[in-house]
Structure 1
Amino acid sequence: MEPWGYLPNPWRDAIFQLSSDKLDNLEEVRFRLDRPVYCYGSYWVEPLKVGDQVLIGIQSDLDHIVGVIAQHSLYARTEELRHGYLTLPGGHRVGIAGKAIWENGKIVTMGDVTGLNFRKARHVEGIADALHSIFSRHQLDLESLLIAGPPRSGKTTLLRDCARFFSAQGERVTIVDERSELAGYHNGHYGFALGLHLDVLDGWPKAEGLNVAIRTLGPDRVIVDEIGSREDLQAVSHALHAGVKVVASIHAQTYDDLRHRGQGELSVENLFDAVVFLHKGETPGMIHEIWHHHEKVWKVPS
């Protein structure tokens, strides 16, 4: 089910009244306190309406929606809220804006919700095959690989397809799926078909999950989304030194953006053999350029 299918009415029915071409192309539905609810496609934006009336997000509506999607058990999902999201079945995610609640110097949860972003998880098969073809033409190995790009460029989509691709090659792949997005695990089932040689550590923090994967699952390759902390980089380094290949993603738009991420052996430049940069486009996971051992080796033809 798509993420807006979990909304209560009147919002759900209003969304499914969109034209079929817009519904097929719908990427996000955003609620903002005391502002119109907006639907976002690849190249269009419009307010959500019931008839001619634009729907406005008021506080009681936002609180009600959060209660419904959290199945009225916010306490059980405190860890997700602390990181600003709730996960839906199928790998979809609801980003949440609100007030940070502090306790003993740490953010423990979120309250006073002021915004919700229902974002559709996309599964596009074949983009990892295209990446492999580029690497093969340039006689490069797909060893340790970092996927970089701005938000909504398809980093998670490409990571997900990399899991499918390497599993199809017979590699033993482990996904460390902190936010239940990559494999879309929910109630005993995966939201995406990613192959037969795949294990998933669902809900594990990235660094701890990487270490557990190496100790217990014996993977050929580990796939992990959105690294960045020193602990993440240390865990990646540990995996690589153990002979495990790593495919990870990071927020960055240019190679210069990566030059100060970590230091020495723990810099992302030194950890990963190759960096693949994506850019936003109609198709998620569009490859813009590839760097290999600090040199640009490919760029999308003009």
Structure 2
Amino acid sequence: MYTLKVEVNSVKEVFDVLPKRLVHWINSIDEREIQKIEEIRIRHSQALELDVNGRVMYLPGKGSQQGVRDEEMQYILNQLSNYSLYTLDEELKRGYITIKGGHRVGLAGKVVTDQGRVKGIRAVSSFNIRIAKQTLGVADRYVPRLIQAGKWKSTLLIGAPKTGKTTFLRDIARIISEGFPSERLPAKKVGIVDERSEIAGSLKGVPQHTFGPRVDVLDACPKAEGMMMMIRSMSPDVLVVDEIGRKEDTEAIVEAMNAGVRVIASVHGDDWHDVRRRPALEPLWEGNVFERFVEFAPHSKPGTIAAIRRPRDVTQAVSK
């Protein structure tokens, strides 16, 4: 029996940072459409742009003279920074701010640099609010295929952007930390290295998404360094990381495996053929580091899994 899929985040959680006029525009559309909003793009003097389940919508209408005003841009910036932009210097260097609920606000505008390095963003001209939607239970049905003899298998999630990898990764972290009684899996210690604040959506170090009681998060920390920090300081049973791809990531994963830690990670790619060709990831194939490969179907509903493979499936296909 599997958990009912439940969305625990809402677009209305972002209304606290928006001017009343923009909130009124959004509330003017159908409630079912509101709950499908994935991004809210706010540009100075332009109409509000919504990404509604992949469909673009403009409010109050494309080409409308009622664009977002200067004072409304300033209002959003004040709400995000609590009227002190300098308190967000570190976040602005990364180009985004995480707000309550785990939603991420990207910013664009005048970039300030020092000796070629980004110091922050001033004179903000655009905001992009990405709605964080955690869906509980999306990974439940696949748990039996990701374990063996009562133990979690190191797993690589493969998929193109917006195919549901991070949502699945987040749910797996929750399941591991809570335990899974139907498969007699006890709760395990989970270390999440969240370089881009997308898995846990932490605000001031506190995860905004729902996890079990045995989760520790390193927020805004580079993956390779973070994995080693977690192993040294928090002794996780399972490490969870998003979007690997650098040589340093590969080396850290191999080190984690040698330390007896399981790894659940994701990577951009159309399928394992695509990922298999990347030189930086070659050590992962040579050492059969991952024991399961979950491929997400492109051009389908997010969360659609095309295949779950084992190392022998990949090895046999390569040798043909």
- Structure 2 equivalent of residue 273 of structure 1: 291
Q: Give ranges in structure 2 of 5+ residues lacking alignment.
A: 1-11, 180-186, 316-320
- Structure 2 equivalent of residue 300 of structure 1: none
Q: CA deviation at 1:60?
A: 6.0
Q: CA deviation at 1:223?
A: 0.9
- Structure 2 equivalent of residue 247 of structure 1: 264
**Do the aligned partners of 2:81 and 2:88 also contact (CA within 8 Å) in 1?**
yes
- Structure 2 equivalent of residue 293 of structure 1: 311
SS at the partner of 1:10?
helix
Amino acid at match of 1:107: V
Which one of the candidate residues 41, 55, 67 is aligned to 1:30?
41
- Structure 1 equivalent of residue 233 of structure 2: 216
Aligned in 2, Cα 1:172/1:263: closer, same or farther, shift over 3 Å? closer
TM-score w.r.t. length of structure 2: 0.78
SS at the partner of 1:122?
coil
Which one of the candidate residues 230, 236, 256 is aligned to 2:273?
256
The structure with the largest alpha-carbon Rg is: 2
**Do the aligned partners of 1:228 and 1:261 also contact (CA within 8 Å) in 2?**
no
**RMSD in angstroms over aligned alpha carbons?**
3.2
- Structure 1 equivalent of residue 22 of structure 2: 11
Per-residue displacement from partner, 1:50-103 (whole Å, max 9, x unpaired)?
A: 9x9564346664454234323233333223222221111121111223454332
| In 1, Cα distance between equivalents of 2:202 and 2:216 | 11
- Structure 2 equivalent of residue 81 of structure 1: 92
Amino acid at match of 1:225: D
Which one of the candidate residues 156, 161, 166 is aligned to 1:151?
161
Q: CA deviation at 1:116?
A: 2.0
| In 1, Cα distance between equivalents of 2:286 and 2:42 | 36
| In 2, Cα distance between equivalents of 1:295 and 1:109 | 47
**Do the aligned partners of 1:59 and 1:114 also contact (CA within 8 Å) in 2?**
no
Amino acid at match of 2:13: E
Amino acid at match of 2:97: L
1:1-302 matched pairs, under 5 angstroms: 2-49=13-60, 55-57=66-68, 61-135=72-146, 142-169=152-179, 170-186=187-203, 190-258=207-275, 259-262=277-280, 264-265=282-283, 271-279=289-297, 284-293=302-311, 295=313
| In 2, Cα distance between equivalents of 1:31 and 1:167 | 37
Q: CA deviation at 1:140?
A: 11
Aligned in 2, Cα 1:228/1:217: closer, same or farther, shift over 3 Å? same
TM-score w.r.t. length of structure 1: 0.83
Q: Give ranges in structure 1 of 5+ residues lacking alignment.
A: 298-302
